[in-house]
Amino acid sequence: MPKCLECGFEAPRLQWTHFRYKCSGRFKNCQEYRDAYPGAKLVDNDLAAKTAITLENLIKKHGEIEGIKRWDEYRLKQARSNSFEYKKEKYGWTKEQFNEYNKSRAVTLENLIKKHGEIEGTKRWIAYCERQAYTNTREYFVEKYGKEIGTEKYKEICKSKSHSIESIMLRTGCSYNKAIEKYKERKQSSNQYSSGLELEIINKIEDTLGISLDYSAKTKQYCIYANNKVNFYDIVHNMKAIEINGDYWHCNPKLYEANYYHSHSDNLAKDIWEKDRLKIEALEKERGIKTMIIWESEYKADPDGTIKRCIEWLN
C-alpha cells in the first residue's frame, strides 16, 4: 500500500482529507504533497487501474458522448495545472524548479530504476518503450479502429509526421538534390529530433570542456550523404564522433537478441545493427572520423565515468 512520506501513514489511497486533517498540517491537498515529494505514490496499483481517469473508463461510466466531453475537459484542466504559468502563479516556482519537477515525473529509465530498483525498473522501461513504439504501428491502429479505418488513420499519422526526402519532393515539387538540402536544413536547425539523454550528455561534455562542441544537436549536427541517404551524427568534435544510442531504439545487444522484431521500424535487431554499422563505417571512410558508441544503460549506470571517457575520446 502507498505510504505517506510525510508522516508514515499507509492506506490503499492517500486522499486530500489525510493531508489536510490527519497529516503534519503542511499540505492542504494531494497536489501540494506531490509538489513536495515528486513521484510519490498516492494509490495502490490495482485500485488505480479501476478508478483511473481514462477515456475508456469515462465512456463506460457516462456513455460515449458525455464520456468524451468529460475526457476533453479533464485534459484541458490537466494541461493548465501542469503549465509553468500555473505553477508560478500558485506556488511561486522558478523556471528551474518547474524543469526539475518535470524531470522527476518523466517516464525515464533513471526514474523507473529509482522507484522500482534496477531489474524491475529496466524491465518496465523496455516494456514502456515497446508500448510507445507499438502505438505508432499499423497493427495498433487496425486493432483499435478496425482494418479499413485503422489503415487510413495510420496513413494520416505517417503523412503528418513524415520528413523524408521523398515527402519533401512531393510537398514542394523540388528536385532530389534540393530536397536533400532542405532535409539537412530542418534537421540541423533544431534539436527537436534529439533525445533528452543526448542533450544531457552534450551539456555535461561542454560544461567539462568549457567550450561548445563543433557539431551537436545544440548547434547543428554533422552530416554526410552516404549509402543513398543523409546520415546525421550526434556529436563530432576534433575529428572524433560520439553516437548516443538508446537501448530500445538501437536494440542494445546486451538486452536484445539478433532476431528480435522491432515493431516501430519494422526491422529485426540485426538489421538495425547493420544500419548503424554502415553509418559509422561511412563516416570513417568518407571523412576519416572514427566513432565511439555510448549506450543509454551504460551512461545511466555510470554518468561520471561515461562523461570522462567521452572527454578522453574527444581530446
Last residue of a domain, one of 70, 85, 109: 109
Q: What is the pTM of this model?
A: 0.45
- pLDDT at site 313: 95
Q: Which of 69-78, 104-113, 153-162, 241-250 has the lowest mean pLDDT?
A: 153-162
Residue 180 lies in a domain: no
In a domain, 199, yes or no: yes
The answer to whether residue 82 sits within a structural domain is: yes
Give the count of domains, the chain.
2
The answer as to whether 303 is a domain residue is yes
Residue 170 has pLDDT above 80, yes or no: no
Please indicate, yes or no, if residue 218 is contained in any of the structural domains. Answer: yes
Domain stops at, among 109, 131, 162: 109
Residue 294: domain span: 194-314
Q: Is 304 found in the same domain as 202?
A: yes
Q: Indicate if the pLDDT at residue 186 is higher than 60.
A: no
pLDDT of residue 202 exceeding 90, the answer is yes
Q: List the CATH number of the domain containing 271.
A: 3.40.960
Exposure string for 6-45, b = 16+ CB within 10 A, e = fewer: beeeeeeebeeebbeeebeeebeebebbbbeeeebbbbee
Q: Which of 161-175, 185-199, 272-286 has the highest mean pLDDT?
A: 272-286
Closest CA to 31 of 108, 103, 112, 86: 86
Residue 302 reports pLDDT greater than 50: yes
Query: Is there a domain that residue 126 lies in?
Result: no
Residue 205 shares a structural domain with residue 303 = yes
Residue 162 has pLDDT above 80, yes or no: no
Task: Say if 44 falls within a structural domain.
Answer: yes
| Final residue before a domain boundary, out of 57, 82, 109 | 109
Residue 189 lies in a domain: no
Tens-digit pLDDT profile for residues 123-156: 887 777 677 666 767 777 788 788 888 888 776 7
Indicate the average pLDDT of the chain: 82
